Homo-oligomer: A and B are copies of this chain.
Amino acid sequence: MPPVSLWPDPDALGPITDLYELTMMAGYAASGMAEKRATFELFVRRLPPGRAYLVFAGLEQAVGDLLRLKFTEEQAGYLASLPAFAHVDPTWFEALPYLRFQGDIWSVPEGTVVFPGETLLRVEAPLAQAQWVETFLIASLNYPTLVASKAARIVEAAHGRSCVDFGTRRGHGPHAGFLAARAAYLAGFDGTSHVEASRLLGIPPVGTMAHAWVQSFETERAAFAAFARVFPENTTLLVDTYDTLEGVRHAAEIEPPVKGVRLDSGEVGALSKAARAILDAAGRRATKIFASGDLDEWKIGELVRVGAPVDAFGVGTELITSRDAPALSMVYKLVAIDGHGRVKLSPGKRTFPLAKQVYRRRDGQGRFAGDHVTRWDEKAEGEALLSQVVSEGQLVGELLTLAAIRERCRSQVSALPGVLRGPDPTGVYPISYSDVLESAAKTLGL
C-alpha cells in the first residue's frame, strides 16, 4: 500500500465537515425542512485569557472555498455505505454531488478589530446548506483570526521595528503555515519565511541561513565568506553557532559590509548591545541586528523597553501556534428559521436570536467608544460593520485586497482605547444590545 495522502482536492472539500452536519442534512430532507430559510451567525464566545481584542481574518479563503464546496460521487457513495445512513432515501445520496452553497453571506471585513458576542459573519441559506458549511467555515476562520490577533499584539510590542514570520515548521501541519503567513502579514508583519505563501500572496520572503550552513564548512569564517559571495545583497549571517560575539566579529570582517547579523539564542538584550558595539567599532553602522528564537510579545516588549539595538524580530512558534491562546471559541449558531428567532438556553452558551448588525461608535479623538448590536434592520449611530459579500452563491463585488486589509488592520488597532492595547491590557470594550434584541430574547425564554 502506498502512503495515504491527506491533501484534499480543492474541488471536493464537501466532506471536510463533522458527520453530524450530514446526518442533520439528511434528516432535514426527510422531514421536509431542508429548504426552510435559516439564519446562522458566527461569533466568538469569549476572549482568550489576557486578551482584549481580536482581529478578524481568513474571509477570502473561507469564502473562496465555500463557493466551490462540493462532494464527488465517490464521497457521496461513502456516506451511502455507512450503516448509520441505512434508512436515508437513496435519492439524497444521488443528489449530493449536485449540491452547491447558494445562500447569502454578510461579514465584517478582514482586518477589523472584533469582540466576543458580536456577529462576525451571517449565513442565510436553505437550512441544509447553511448546516453543511458550519464546520468548514469555523475551521477556515477560527485559526486565521487567532494568528492575526496574536500578530497584532506582537507588532504593537515591536513598536515600529520590523517583525517577520518564521513559523512554518511549527504550524499544526504543513498547511497551517500558509494561513499563518497571510494572517501575520495582514496584522502588520513585514515578511514571511514561507516560500510558497510569499509567492501566492505577494508577501516579501525572508531568510538566509541556518546553523547547518555554518556547520557545513570547516570554519565559521569560511561559511560567512562563501555565503556573501553568492548573496552579496542579502547577507544576513547567523552568528551563534559556536560563540556569538566571535561570530559577530567574523561577520564584521566581511567585505563589502553585510546587511545583517542574526542572534538566535542567549540573552538577546545584552548580546545585541555587545554586537552593536563590535559592528560600530568595525565601521559596520549600517549592518542590522536581527533577533529570533522563542520570541513573543512580552519578550519583544521587554527588548524594546531596555533599548536593545535589535532592528527586526523573527517570530515562529509563538506566532503560528498562538501559544498563550491556541484555541478560540468561535461558534456558528442558528438564530432564525424563516425569519422567526431561535435561541439556545444551555448553561453558559446563550445566544441572542435574529439576524444582527453591529454598529461601532468613535469618540471625539476617533477612538472606538463602544459597539452596539442591533437587529439587522435597525439603525444606530456609528459604522455598520457587516455588509453582504455573497448573494445566492455568488460573490458580490470585490473582497478587500491583502494590502487594503493590512491598512485596515493598522488603522483599526490604532483606534483602540489605550486600556485594550499592549501585552497586558486592563480594560474591557463596551458592547451593548438593542432593546429589540433584548425583548426578542426575553420572549424566547433567554
Please, how many angstroms separate the alpha-carbon atoms of A23 and B208 in the complex? Answer: 6
Please, how many angstroms separate the alpha-carbon atoms of A233 and B88 in the complex? Answer: 12
A35 lies within 8 A of chain B by Cβ: no
B27 contacts A230, C-beta separation under 8 Å: yes
Take A174-B136, A207-B23, A226-B31 as given contacts and tell me if A327 and B334 are in contact as well, using a CB distance cutoff of 8 Å: no
The B-contacting residues of A in range 192-243, CB under 8 angstroms, are 193-201, 205-213, 215-216, 226-227, 229-234, 240-243
Residues on B with C-beta less than 8 A from A177 are 16, 139
A63 lies within 8 A of chain B by Cβ: yes
B347 contacts A197, C-beta separation under 8 Å: no
A437 lies within 8 A of chain B by Cβ: no
Take A8-B175, A18-B207, A216-B334 as given contacts and tell me if A30 and B127 are in contact as well, using a CB distance cutoff of 8 Å: no
A24 contacts B212, C-beta separation under 8 Å: yes
Stretch at the interface among A101-109, A163-171, A369-377, A418-426: A163-171
- Knowing that A2-B395, A172-B173, A264-B346 touch, tell me 10 more A-B residue pairs with CB under 8 angstroms: A20-B208, A23-B231, A24-B210, A27-B209, A30-B229, A88-B230, A139-B171, A173-B173, A173-B175, A321-B327
Please, how many angstroms separate the alpha-carbon atoms of A216 and B342 in the complex? Answer: 8
22 contacts between A and B (CB under 8 A): A3-B63, A3-B64, A6-B175, A6-B178, A7-B7, A15-B196, A17-B194, A18-B169, A18-B195, A19-B198, A23-B207, A79-B195, A84-B234, A134-B169, A136-B174, A172-B176, A173-B176, A173-B178, A174-B175, A241-B345, A265-B348, A321-B327
Please, how many angstroms separate the alpha-carbon atoms of A50 and B208 in the complex? Answer: 35
Residues on B with C-beta less than 8 A from A138 are 169-170
A1 lies within 8 A of chain B by Cβ: yes
Please, how many angstroms separate the alpha-carbon atoms of A79 and B169 in the complex? Answer: 20
A354 lies within 8 A of chain B by Cβ: no
A90 lies within 8 A of chain B by Cβ: no
A4 lies within 8 A of chain B by Cβ: yes
How many A residues touch B, CB cutoff 8 Å?
Answer: 132
Q: Mark A23-49, 1 if CB is under 8 A from B, else 0.
A: 110111011010010101000000000
Residues on B with C-beta less than 8 A from A330 are 169
A213 CB to closest chain B CB (Å) equals 5
A355 CB to closest chain B CB (Å) equals 15
Residues on B with C-beta less than 8 A from A216 are 28, 33, 36, 38, 127, 334, 337, 342
B241 contacts A205, C-beta separation under 8 Å: no
A394 CB to closest chain B CB (Å) equals 12
B321 contacts A211, C-beta separation under 8 Å: no
B61 contacts A209, C-beta separation under 8 Å: no
Please, how many angstroms separate the alpha-carbon atoms of A208 and B72 in the complex? Answer: 22
B4 contacts A60, C-beta separation under 8 Å: yes
Please, how many angstroms separate the alpha-carbon atoms of A10 and B6 in the complex? Answer: 9
A162 lies within 8 A of chain B by Cβ: no
A315 lies within 8 A of chain B by Cβ: no
B212 contacts A40, C-beta separation under 8 Å: yes
Please, how many angstroms separate the alpha-carbon atoms of A438 and B354 in the complex? Answer: 69
